[in-house]
Chains A and B, each alone.
Chain A
Amino acid sequence: DIQMTQSPSSLSASVGDRVTITCRASQSISSRLNWYQQKPGKAPKLLIYAASTLQSGVPSRFSGSGSGTDFTLTIISLQPEDFATYYCQQSYSAFTFGQGTRLEIK
């Protein structure tokens, strides 16, 4: 089974900051990597798929990069609505999520 490891597990930042979350796969997953945002009590929301493609309607301050085993999600100029938990997901072999990164207001 493919394991996904996100870092950091939690992160404190301020409005306007730039933040980066990383996700590492236990084996190569090509570009089969997706990012989701989840707010308390809500379903996950797709942000980025295929490692770097922005889902329709998602603000351009979100971006993704990487391939193989190492991936990053970057948010530039954090907005108040961006404080949430972020998950990566591999879809190369079955489906596995990272453990999540909780982004909190500093």
Chain B
Amino acid sequence: EVQLVESGGGLVQPGGSLRLSCAASGFTVISNYVSWVRQAPGKGLEWVSIIYSGGTTKYADSVKGRFTISRDNSKNTLYLQMNSLRVEDTAVYYCSRLDTSHWHNDYWGQGTLVTVSS
């Protein structure tokens, strides 16, 4: 059974850093495309970043240069290192697997809340 479990969210001050984790089971992150999607309180979904099976990474313009996606194959875990955090980065962050047969997100974690506030 495929499962994704996020952790690492919390309260951080503007300008601070946080690292989110997403532990995967039922599939291997090294062989799949896995992404981060966020949702600000009361708002819609926003794609944040993706890492391809080959290691290529992509980012939304809103986080480029501040966020870094990575993975630890030995732990089968995805990470999102978030630096220079802004108030507008406040959101629930979801990790999600991308099915590349038709390019859709088929499995999602439960999300972890990041609050950026002074």
Contacts and interface: CB of A to CB of B under 8 A. Distances in A.
Q: Is the interface of B mostly helix, strand, loop or mixed?
A: strand
Which bucket holds chain B's interface residue count? 20 to 34
A34 B105 contact: yes
A67 interface: no
Interface string B20-52: 000000000000000101000000111100100
Nearest to B44: A100
A65 B30 CA distance: 33
A96 B50 CA distance: 13
B1 interface: no
Residue from A43, A96, A98 whose CB has the most chain B CB atoms within 10 Å: A43
Contacts of A42: 110
Given A43-B110, A43-B111, A96 B104 contact: no
A30 to B, nearest CB: 10
A43 B108 contact: yes
Interface of A: 1, 32, 34, 36, 38, 42-46, 49-50, 53, 55, 87, 89, 91-92, 94-100
6 contacts: A34-B104, A46-B106, A49-B104, A89-B104, A91-B103, A98-B44
